[in-house]
Amino acid sequence: MLKVENLNVYYGGIHALRGIDIEVQEGQIVSIIGSNGAGKSTLLNAITGIVKPKEGLITYKGNEIPRTPHKIVKLGICQVPEGRLIFANLTVKDNLMMGAYLRNDKKKIEEDLEKVYQLFPRLLERINQMAGTLSGGEQQMLAMGRGLMSNPDLILLDEPSLGLAPLLVRTIFEIIEDIKKMNKTILLVEQNAYKALSIADKAYILEQGVIKKEGIAEEILQDKSILEAYLGKAH
């Protein structure tokens, strides 16, 4: 579904991504795991046209991906950015509707809104609340809900568990699995390696702009040497 080949991104003199190759199959959860500064957000931003690569080919469903963010949304790709970036002065409902701004299919939009409320009952309880007054975890739910309102086939999630309490982290990962069941494909970027591996089909380990390991997530999770070398001590 998505293929990234020999992707190289620079920020001035910093070579942030060095010859990245990844592949995401339809219906899968693919996790990219890496520590701070590894280049995870840069990779997602390059896919969605926010960052311009110096070299490399990105194809989506067999065609080269457009380089403008709104065209990418129209193709059925949505990015839920790190730090959430919700509209603080709009209500929960209005934030969700912003996710559907490129759509005209009113009836389907209403259906998708219902689905988002089913996934995140907490948002339904708070539809008229200003988004800026939501808790961190609720803002994360809102950001994911808004992403779903564009009716994407492929969802790029940038560290959805960042800064959340353990119980909420579990909830968020369960919801990601529920989203997969809605026939969505997910590219998940995470520092929480164990959680990200435990729900993924495939995983890549990114370190200083380079893919160091790739494989079936379950196998990486069983491989003590990989866990110790790249992900800190096995738990």
Quick one: 34 or 147, whose CB is closer to ligand ATP? 34
Nearest-angstrom CA–CA distance, 42 and 52 = 10
- In the chain, which ranges are continuous DSSP H helix? 40-47, 69-74, 92-98, 106-119, 121-125, 136-148, 166-181, 193-199, 217-222, 224-230
Residue with tokens 């989203």: 179
- Site for Mg ion (CB under 5 A): which residue of 4, 16, 34, 41? 41
Q: Which two tokens stand for residue 50?
A: 């926010």
- AA identity, residue 203: A
Nearest-angstrom CA–CA distance, 64 and 129 = 40
Quick one: 182 or 229, whose CB is closer to ligand ATP? 229
Quick one: 9 or 131, whose CB is closer to ligand ATP? 9
DSSP 159: -
Q: Which two tokens stand for residue 129?
A: 């609340």
- Site for ligand ATP (CB under 6 A): which residue of 1, 2, 4, 16? 16
Quick one: 112 or 159, whose CB is closer to Mg ion? 159
- Site for ligand ATP (CB under 6 A): which residue of 6, 14, 85, 182? 14
CB 189 within 8 A of CB 157: yes
Contact track, ligand ATP, 19-58, x by CB under 6 A: ---------------x-xxxxxxx----------------
In the list Mg ion, ligand ATP, none, the entry touching 49 (Cβ below 5 to 8 angstroms by class) is none
- Closest by alpha carbon to 102, among 60, 73, 69? 73
Site for ligand ATP in 171-230 (CB under 6 A): 191
Q: Which two tokens stand for residue 22?
A: 């990844």
In the list ligand ATP, Mg ion, none, the entry touching 126 (Cβ below 5 to 8 angstroms by class) is none
- AA identity, residue 186: I
**CB-closest chain residue to Mg ion:** 41
Contact track, ligand ATP, 66-85, x by CB under 6 A: ----------------x---
Quick one: 100 or 206, whose CB is closer to Mg ion? 206
Binding site for Mg ion (CB under 5 A): 40-41, 82
